[in-house]
Structure 1
């Protein structure tokens, strides 16, 4: 579904990503791990066309390097940024409706799906999004992206700053999303939750992929975590 080959990304003259290769298949959750500052968030932005990039990014068989971000989104690739990017002055329901593509209801994810999966949002559908808790805002950001009916979504640090209970809730939601056949590329700092819900793992270091394998392979190779994840 998503095939990335020799992806390079730049901020001005700074060369951040150096030949990143990765794949994401239908319905799987793939975690991207690494210390802060190694290029994980930049990888998602580069795939989405939000930073200058070279290389190849194919989504659903189409080469997207040279596409604008809105064109990539229309192909069916969603992106939930780390800052969530909700509209604080709009209500929960209004934020969700903004996720619809060209105003058309999604066949893959509807408002009723959102209310069913996260009833707390239903209770607060007429509440300004800016007064929601951090966990509620994260759920809103994820569900707003799903309203566009994506085939795959990329999520950047969804559990950052959340309570342990909400972290578990986010994990449950991501599993339910994947069960619907929606692929997830997950940048996550919390190792336990990432390994529990993912099928495969990429580890980044210094702008490159330094490990690629199954969760089991990662767990058996203690040197990877020690060298590239431990502080």
Structure 2
């Protein structure tokens, strides 16, 4: 479904991604792990067209490296950025409706389904999104992306700064998305969540993938965890 080969990206003269290689199959949940600053967010931004990349990014057989992000989104690739990017002056319902790829032909995710899943959002359906709590904004960002009916969704640090109860709700939503057949590339700092819901994990270091394997393989690899994950 997604195949990334020799991906490089720069911020000015800083060489952030230095030959990233990985693939993601249909129906997989893959977590991208690593310490802050190693290039995890830059990887998903490069795939989504937010950062100009060099190298190859193939999504469902189509080369998308260098495409504008709106064109990538229409191909079926969803993206939930770390800063959530909701529209604070629009209502919760209006934010959800903006996520529709084709308003005349809704997909499997509808506004009503999103509101049924999240009573907190339903209670604030007609409130400006700017008054939501951090957890509610994260739920809104994720559900708005689902409204576009993506076949693959990339989620960047969804639990950052959230209370433990909200973290569990976000983890449950990610699991529900996966159970509905949507592939997921997850950037996550909380190792326990990533290990619980992922089929495979990728560990980044110095702008490259330094480990690929199953959660159990990572649990059993003390050297990789100490070198690239533990503080």
TM range (shorter): over 0.9
How far does residue 23 in structure 1 lie from its aligned partner after superposition? Answer: 1.3
Give structure 1 stretches of 5+ with no counterpart. Answer: none
SS at match of 2:10: strand
**CA distances 1:55-85 after superposition (whole Å, capped 9, x unpaired):** 1101011000131111100100010000000
Which secondary structure state, in structure 1, belongs to the residue aligned with residue 174 of structure 2?
A: helix
| 1:112 Cα deviation from its structure 2 partner | 2.1
- Aligned ranges 1:1-231 → 2 under 5 Å: 1-231=1-231
SS in 2 for 1:135: helix
> 1:73-126: CA deviations, max 9, x gaps?
010001000000011111000111111125344312111220222122111100
Residues in 2 aligned to 1:158 and 1:15: alpha-carbon distance in whole angstroms? 26
Instruction: Measure the CA separation in 2 of the matches of 1:104 and 1:113.
Output: 17
TM-score (norm 2): 0.97
Q: Confirm or deny: 8 A CA contact 1:11 1:52 kept in the other structure.
A: no
What is the rounded CA distance, in whole Å, between the counterparts of 1:219 and 1:198 in structure 2? 13
Q: CA deviation at 1:12?
A: 2.0
SS of the equivalent of 1:19 reads strand
Under a length normalisation based on structure 1, what TM-score does the superposition of the two structures give?
Answer: 0.97
CA distance in 1, matches of 2:66, 2:52: 10
For the Cα contact (< 8 Å) 1:27–1:180, is it kept in 2? no
Q: Report if the CA contact (8 A) 2:155-2:185 is conserved.
A: yes
Task: Name the CA shift for 1:20/1:104 in 2 (closer, same or farther; >3 Å).
Answer: farther
Which 4+ stretches in 1 moved above 6 angstroms?
none
- Give structure 2 stretches of 5+ with no counterpart: none
CA RMSD of aligned residues (A): 1.0
CA distance in 1, matches of 2:209, 2:224: 11
Structure 1 SS opposite 2:120: helix
Question: Is the 8 Å Cα contact of residues 82 and 156 (structure 1) preserved in structure 2?
Answer: yes
State the secondary structure of the residue aligned to 1:144. helix
CA deviations over 1:160-201 (Å, ceiling 9, x no partner): 010111111111100000111101100000111111111110
Q: How far apart, in 1, do the equivalents of 2:224 and 2:119 lie? A: 40
More off after superposition, 57-66 vs 116-125: 116-125
**Which stretch shows the higher mean deviation, 105-114 or 135-144?**
105-114
Q: What SS does structure 2 have at the residue aligned with 1:181?
A: coil
